[in-house]
Structure 1
Amino acid sequence: MSRFVMLIMWFIAVVGLTFAGVRFSGLLDSMLPPGEPEITRFSPEMTLPAQPNFYLVCGGGHCPPAIRKVESPVFPVSAAQLFSRIEELAAGMGGKVTFRNGETLHIRFVVRSPIFRFPDWVDLQASPVEDNTSQLLAYSRSVYGADDFGANEKRLKKFIAQLSALTAGARASQ
């Protein structure tokens, strides 16, 4: 092998080992602090970022006009039951809960990307629709970067699918 190829291989090994050390030491988490945004109030007047690094799930006129959103399905459980299921699923997302309000049925957590540990904020709230039915209000947004490359949309659509599966059994048991 030429010296140049050996030098390149050595450089790649050093950079890789340095990144692994920083990544797994928790240093990236302190280098990329999530901050603490204001508590999300789902409403048509809600302020959204100008850049496409967020995604919304809304229903019942709770959200502003936005391209990056999907209508929430109506779940066959009360808002309190939906909130319990939201908490179950949120625990499995690997995030750190920073806010929980059982009265407003609102939970917020910060979740980090698996490799580079970029933080994203996720707000989830159960909202009543009619007797024993409810909807999910959700807002997922990236702290860093002008684009999320679809990560927030993917996260919330996966969450809706899991929530739908978890509440489907409630319909049969009622």
Structure 2
Amino acid sequence: MSVGVLPLLLSLVFPACGKPGAQGVTPPGVVDFDHLVLPKTPNKALAAPAGFSPPPTVITPHYRVSQGKLFGIVGEVAASEPRTYKLDAYPARFQAAFVARSKAANFPDIIEVAVRPAPSGGSELILYSHSIYGQSDFGVNAARVKAWLSAIEARVVKDQSAAQ
């Protein structure tokens, strides 16, 4: 896996652009989503259950599957996304992080994921997608969160149908 000429030139200013896959991106480690502080810049999107603080960009549904099942589905969806690579994983905590790179310039974004037990049973999901560089993302992170949620929901429904 290599990068093109444009990413190599950009790496003079943005070092992670010149690296392939998840290389050059610092893993976030275990994230304390209960105390998440979002930057004031618009280059991010947060998907979380209703009532979550800080207020999410997108409300995630209640999933009627176990934490382990939902965490596995999220991993499958991430693996199916183009130019997306695993950065970090804490399966015992149902947390993971991924790097998604832009096609032309190889700019990295980080997607942090947490699956929690829902108070009424089943699971709830938090997705936090954000850019490493820049102030604006041209809506890429919000579009990514929505696309992932759609793919996750489709897989949950498929798995539930297959189990019946």
Residue 47 (1) aligns with residue 21 (2): no
Structure 2 match to 1:22: 5
Residue 91 (1) aligns with residue 74 (2): no
Structure 2 CA distance for partners of 1:133 and 1:88, relative to 1, 3 Å: same
Q: TM-score, normalised by structure 2?
A: 0.80
Structure 2 CA distance for partners of 1:70 and 1:21, relative to 1, 3 Å: closer
Report the structure number with the largest CA radius of gyration.
1
Given residue 105 of structure 2, which amino acid in structure 1 is its aligned partner? F
Query: Which structure 1 residue ranges, 5 or more long, are not aligned?
Result: 1-19
Given residue 78 of structure 2, which amino acid in structure 1 is its aligned partner? A
Q: TM-score, normalised by structure 1?
A: 0.76
How is 1:71-82 mapped onto 2 (pairs within 5 angstroms)? 71-82=59-70
Contact 2:114–2:127 at 8 Å: present in 1 too?
yes
Contact 2:113–2:128 at 8 Å: present in 1 too?
yes
How is 1:53-132 mapped onto 2 (pairs within 5 angstroms)? 53-59=43-49, 61-65=51-55, 69-93=57-81, 94-130=83-119
Given residue 70 of structure 2, which amino acid in structure 1 is its aligned partner? L
Q: What SS is found at the alignment partner of 1:111? A: strand
Contact 1:76–1:133 at 8 Å: present in 2 too?
yes
Q: What SS is found at the alignment partner of 1:73? A: coil
Contact 1:28–1:116 at 8 Å: present in 2 too?
no
CA drift of 1:65 comes to 3.1
Q: Once the two structures are superposed, what CA deviation does each residue of 1:33-83 show, in whole Å capped at 9, x if it has no partner?
A: 15426333212x3111111000001116443135xx111111121111000
Q: What SS is found at the alignment partner of 2:115? A: strand
Q: What SS is found at the alignment partner of 1:98? A: strand
Q: Matched residue pairs, number? A: 150
Moved over 4 A (4+): 28-31
Residue 146 (1) aligns with residue 138 (2): no
CA drift of 1:27 comes to 2.5
Contact 2:27–2:88 at 8 Å: present in 1 too?
no
Contact 1:78–1:131 at 8 Å: present in 2 too?
no
Query: Which structure 2 residue ranges, 5 or more long, are not aligned?
Result: 17-23
Instruction: Give the percent of matched residue pairs that are identical in Structure 1 and Structure 2.
Output: 31
Contact 1:57–1:156 at 8 Å: present in 2 too?
yes
Given residue 71 of structure 1, which amino acid in structure 2 is its aligned partner? I
